[in-house]
Structures are given as C-alpha cells and as structure tokens.
C-alpha cells in the first residue's frame, strides 16, 4: 500500500499546477520534525526539480532521513540512489543493505535485491548483509525517539 502512496505523491507533485515556496517551507518544517511523509515528498521535489532546483544530493538527504526512521519506500529509494550513484557515489554494498531493509516489507524490494545480488561477489553480499544489520541498530534509537515524541504531542 505504501508504494501506491509514493506514486500518488509523485503524480500529485508533477501534475499540480505549481508547488509554491510556501509548500516547500511547510514540508521542510515538517520534515525537520521527523515527518516521514514530508521527508519523502521533499525528497521527490528535489529529485524531480519541482518547486525547487533539482538537487540529487538534497533528495538523497531527505530519502535517507525517512529511511532511518523506518520508511521502507525511502529505504528502497536510498538503495536506488546508491545503485545508480544518484546524489551519492555508486556503492553496491550500500545499495544491497538498503534494498535488504526495504525487502522486509516489500516484495518489489526483494526482487530488486535479487537483481542487485547478481552483480555482486559473495563477499560483497555478506558485507551488505552486515551493513544492513548495522543500519537497523542505528535506526532503532531514532525510531523510538520519534515515536515517544509523537506520543507526547498526539
């Protein structure tokens, strides 16, 4: 269901007459507070150059922020960035690690993971698996901190 939300968001962004400076500022403020939907929307804007200048590094930054808060669609996007070298240097081990995280909840990511693994050595795959576990450990404090913060204010 989540990939459909991202597709709808991308369609809405590209189909809307204009993304205003106010929209960008609103999404920016929400993104900085840990709102993963705002982070992914802002990332899409930078990726497509809608409402802002196209900036792959800035798009990666926001995809990565949401990925580290557990957003599997953004984990997939981070993997894609590493795979193609979009906004970051190309790195198959990092791509594998993020596709591996996204594959926990996404069949599409699992298929992509298999595709990427065909281009890697066994040592690289093992390094990607290790990296994936390390990322999960890095994510946990951020994820729990965000959930506690949201519980206080919702």
**Domain containing residue 12: CATH number:** 1.25.40.10
The pTM of this model reads: 0.82
User: What average pLDDT does the segment 30-48 reach?
Assistant: 94
> For the chain, how many structural domains are there in total?
1
Position 103 scores a pLDDT of 93
Question: Cα–Cα distance between 149 and 22 in angstroms, integer?
Answer: 25
Helix (H, G, I), strand (E, B) or coil at 27: helix
More confident residue, 74 or 148: 74
Rounded to the nearest 10 degrees, the angle between the axes of helix 107-117 and helix 72-84 is 20
Position 80 scores a pLDDT of 97
């Amino acid at each position: 269901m989540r990939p459909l939300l991202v597709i709808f968001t991308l369609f809405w962004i590209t189909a809307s007459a204009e993304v205003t400076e106010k929209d960008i500022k609103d999404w920016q403020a929400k993104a900085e507070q840990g709102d993963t939907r705002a982070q992914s929307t802002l990332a899409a804007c930078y990726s497509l150059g809608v409402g802002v200048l196209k900036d792959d590094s800035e798009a990666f930054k926001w995809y990565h922020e949401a990925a580290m808060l557990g957003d599997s669609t953004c984990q997939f996007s981070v993997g894609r960035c590493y795979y193609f070298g979009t906004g970051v240097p190309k790195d198959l081990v990092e791509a594998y690690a993020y596709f591996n995280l996204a594959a926990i909840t996404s069949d599409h990511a699992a298929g992509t993971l298999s595709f990427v693994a065909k281009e890697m050595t066994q040592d690289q795959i093992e390094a990607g698996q290790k990296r994936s576990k390390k990322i999960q450990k890095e994510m946990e404090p951020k994820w729990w901190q965000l959930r506690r913060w949201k519980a206080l204010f919702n």
